[in-house]
Amino acid sequence: MQQTFNRSKSVFRYAFLIVFSLMMVFPLIWMILSSLKTTEEIFAVPITLFPETLQWGNFSGALEMAPFWLYMFNSAFTSICIVILQVVLSSMIAYALTQLKFKGKSLLFNSILITYMLPAAATYVPSYILLSKMGLLDSLTGIVVSNVASVFTIFLLRQAFMQVPKEMIEAARSEGANDFAVLTKVMIPMCKSTIFIAGLIGFVSMYNNYLWPSLIVKSEDKYLITVGLNRFFTNVGSFADTWPFIMAANVLTVVPLLLLFVLLNKWFIKGISDSGLKG
């Protein structure tokens, strides 16, 4: 009796999960389906779920209207540069915060803590002025340079570095390793997975970043994918017959991330739930 009760409970559970999962994934499915429809199918009332014939031409159409490959390259390129620099710089400062003694250490840590809590928007105007003074407005370098400091990555790495057993560090030191060697030969190898996760989350948030890059880049050949996509949407969105192209452009934008997610979903899921900087 108890068992049948449990079984019906678990049927409910699955039913709810399936409904919720469908709701969450449906916009993605709808986007993909729409990108393969004709204009008539897209505007059909009542709606048609599946396209009659798959309109692969929408993709080449979209690519003719705007250089999405270039946008994607710009995004991927800047994101990778940013992530590498973020990880290098953050691991240095996280090393200092966990292993070195210096004046103002707690001031530095508290400043970083406060920065993590406060809206980034507060820095936009001065940062914008700084970039313009450096002559880096409307350049990919400007995007990279202004994003290399990541408070989130510093936190994550600091947390991971604190978990490295003291004995390992002391053993390395007793064999004559200096700080640089301890960082590169002990800390970084020991925290490989956290560093990978920090890089992964950093990459996704940079690829998806919109507001700040949209302020910096003005010329089309430097657009990041988010900027280029939104400009494309604003320029052609008012014409009904361009919706299939817009959807195709959306798919082009989202699919690389979805592939990344499918490939590495365990890393994402584990990494994000471990990154809760509680306490």
Partner 1 sequence: MDRLKGYGKILFFVGIPLVPLLAFWFIPMFVSLWLSTTDWDYISPEFNHVMLENYQTILTSGNFYAALKNTAFFSVMTVIPTIIFGLVFAALLKKVMKGSTLFKSLLFSPWITPMVAMSIVWTWIFQPDVGLLNQILGWFHLPQPSWLTDSNTAMWAIIIVTIWKNAGWAMLFYADALSKIPNELYEVGKMEGTSWWQNSKYITIPLVSPTTLFLVIISLIDAIQAYDQIQVMTQGGPAGSTRTLLYLYYQMAFEQFNMGQATALSTIIVILTGVLAFLLFYTSKKWVHY
Partner 2 sequence: MKKISLKNITKQYDTNQEKILENFNLDIYDKEFIVLVGPSGCGKSTTLRMIAGLESITSGELSINEQVMNDVPSKDRGIAMVFQNYALFPHLTVFDNIAFGLKIRKEDKKVIKERVEETAAKLGLTNYLKRKPKDLSGGQRQRVALGRAIVRNTNIFLMDEPLSNLDAKLRIQMREEIIQLHNQLGTTTVYVTHDQTEAMTMASRIVVLKDGAIQQVGTPHEVYMHPANMFVASFIGSPTINFLTVKVTSHALKIDEQKIVEMPLDNSTPNEIIIGVRPEDIELVSEPDAIKLTIHRVEMMGADKYVYGEIMGQKLTVRVHNELDIQSKQHLHIKLNPRKVHLFEKETGKAIETFVKDTVVV
| Residue 3 touches which member of partner 2, partner 1, none, C-beta under 5-8 Å by kind | partner 2
Contact 134, 152 (CB under 8 A): no
Site pattern 223..242 for partner 1 (x: CB under 8 A): --xx--xx--x---x-----
Binding segment for partner 1 among 53-61, 84-92, 160-168, 191-199 (CB under 8 A)?
84-92
CA distance 262 to 123: 35
CA distance 127 to 115: 15
Q: How far is the CB of 222 from partner 1 (least distance, A)?
A: 17
Residue type, 121: A
Binding to partner 1 by residue 162, rule CB under 8 A? Answer: no
Contact 97, 105 (CB under 8 A): yes
Q: How far is the CB of 10 from partner 2 (least distance, A)?
A: 14
Binding to partner 1 by residue 95, rule CB under 8 A? Answer: yes
Six token digits for residue 99: 């292993």
Other C-beta atoms closer than 10 Å to the C-beta of 26 total: 11
CA distance 123 to 138: 18
CA distance 141 to 134: 11
107-146: which residues touch partner 1 (CB under 8 A)? 108, 111-112, 115, 117-130, 145-146
Binding segment for partner 1 among 7-15, 61-69, 167-175, 188-196 (CB under 8 A)?
7-15
Cα torsion 158, 159, 160, 164 to 10°: value is: 90
Which position among 179, 190, 236, 267 is part of the footprint of partner 1 (CB under 8 A)?
179
Binding to partner 1 by residue 194, rule CB under 8 A? Answer: no
Total of chain residues touching partner 1, rule CB under 8 A: 91
Binding to partner 1 by residue 149, rule CB under 8 A? Answer: yes
Residue 190 or 267: which CB sits closer to partner 1?
Answer: 267
207-226: which residues touch partner 1 (CB under 8 A)? 207-208, 210-211, 214-215, 225-226
CA distance 203 to 206: 5
| Residue 107 touches which member of partner 2, partner 1, none, C-beta under 5-8 Å by kind | none
Q: Is the dihedral of CA 18, 21, 27, 30 positive or negative?
A: negative
Six token digits for residue 97: 């915060």
Binding segment for partner 1 among 23-31, 59-67, 161-169, 186-194 (CB under 8 A)?
23-31
